[in-house]
Amino acid sequence: METNPKRYLFRMFVFLFAVGIIAALLAAPLRDAFMGNPSLNGVILGAFSIGILYITRQTLRLMPERNWLLAVKATGKLDQPAQRPILLATVYAMLADSRHDAQLSALSLRSVLDGVAARLDEGREISRYMIGLLVFLGLLGTFWGLLQTIGAVGNVVGSIDTNSNNFEAMMGQLRVGLDAPLSGMATAFSSSLFGLAGSLILGFLDLQLGQAMGRFFNELEDWLSAFARFNDSSPSSSGNQSALASGMSEEAARACISLSQSIADGEKNRSRLLDQVSQLTTTMAQLNEALVDDKRIRDHLAQLNTNISKLSGELRADRNQQTEILASELRGLSSSIATMMNEKTPPRKGK
C-alpha cells in the first residue's frame, strides 16, 4: 500500500483551483448566463457542489482503510481496532479466520477481492449518478428554453399585423416580441453550459477517484496474493496436497485435504486410545495380582484359625486331664490323711 490517496486528492484540488481561476476570469459572462434562469441554474450548481463534496469524501474514506492495512502489514498482528474497516470488511474477516486456518485458497482470495471491489464500486455509483444528473438538468433546461422560445416565436408571429403599412411600427413590435424567445434561448444555452461544464468537472474528479480506488485495489490484491502463496507454501502443506490441488477442482482439493487431516486426527486418537487401553490392562493385572495375594492371605488366615482352634482343643483336653489327675491325687491324699488320723487316735475307755 505504497500509494497515498492524498496524491489524487491533491490533483483534484489543483484542477478545481484552475477551474476557479477560469471562472473568475469569466465572471461577468457567467453571471449573465446564470441570470438567464437563476432557479434552474442554481439547482445545477447545487448538484455540482454536492458531487464535489461526495467525491472528496469518497477519496478521504480510503485513508483510514489504508492506515489500518499498513498497520496490519507492519505488525503482522490483527489487533482489535477501535473501529472496524468498512471497505475492507471482508479482508478483516479473512484475516481473523486465517488465525484458525492457515490455508487461503484462490477461491477464497477471489471472493474476498470481489467483496472489496463491490464496496468500491458502490461508492462510485452516486458520483456517476451526479454526473448524469448534471447532463440531464442541462438537457432539461435546454428543452425547457426551446419550448419557451417556440411558444414566444409563435406569439410574435401571430401578433404581427401584416396589413399595416407602417414598417417602423412593425419592426418595433417585432423587436419587443423577440424578448421572450431570447429569454428562452438564454435559459436553454445557460442550463446546457452549466450542466455540461459541471458534468465535465465531476467527470475528471470521478476519474481521479477511480484511479485512487483502482490503485488501492491493485495493491491490496498484490499483497493478498503474496499472503495466499505464503500460506500455500507453508510447512503444513505437503507435496501430495499441492499435486492433488492441481489435479482437481478447488473445492474437491480442499475436501480431500480436510479428509486427510481428519484421518490423521483419527489415527492420533486411536494411538491415544491404545495407550489408555494398555495402561488399563496393566492396572487390571496389578489388581489381579493384588487379589491373588489377598486370597493367599485369606487362606493363611483360615489355616491359622484352624490351627488355633485345634491348639485350643488340645489345651482344653490337656487341662481337663490334668484336672482329673489332680482331683484323683487329691482324693488319694485325702484318703491317706484320713487313714493316718484314724490310726493315731486312741480308742475311748467306755467302749
Please list the pLDDT of the chain residue by residue as tens digits (351 residues).
Answer: 567 888 888 999 999 999 999 989 988 888 888 887 788 888 989 999 999 999 998 888 888 888 877 777 776 665 555 566 777 777 777 666 644 444 556 666 777 778 778 888 887 888 889 989 988 888 888 877 777 776 666 655 555 555 555 556 556 655 555 555 566 676 777 888 888 889 999 999 999 888 888 888 888 877 777 665 444 444 444 444 444 444 445 556 667 777 778 888 888 888 888 888 888 888 888 888 888 887 888 888 888 888 888 888 888 888 888 888 888 877 777 787 878 877 776 655 554
Residues in the chain: 351
Instruction: Answer for the pair 159, 152: CB distance below 8 angstroms, yes or no.
Output: no
What residue segments make up the domains of the chain, in order of their start? Answer: 6-236, 250-338
| Spatial distance between the Cα atoms of 152 and 177, rounded to a whole number of angstroms | 8
| Spatial distance between the Cα atoms of 66 and 212, rounded to a whole number of angstroms | 11
| Spatial distance between the Cα atoms of 125 and 120, rounded to a whole number of angstroms | 9
What is the radius of gyration, based on Cα positions, of the chain? 58
Closest to 8 measured CA to CA, from 213, 212, 207, 214: 212
CA quadruple 237, 240, 241, 245: dihedral, nearest 10: 140
Indicate the SS3 state at residue 233.
coil
Would you give the distance in Å from CA 269 to the centre of its chain?
A: 31
User: Which amino acid, residue 56?
Assistant: T
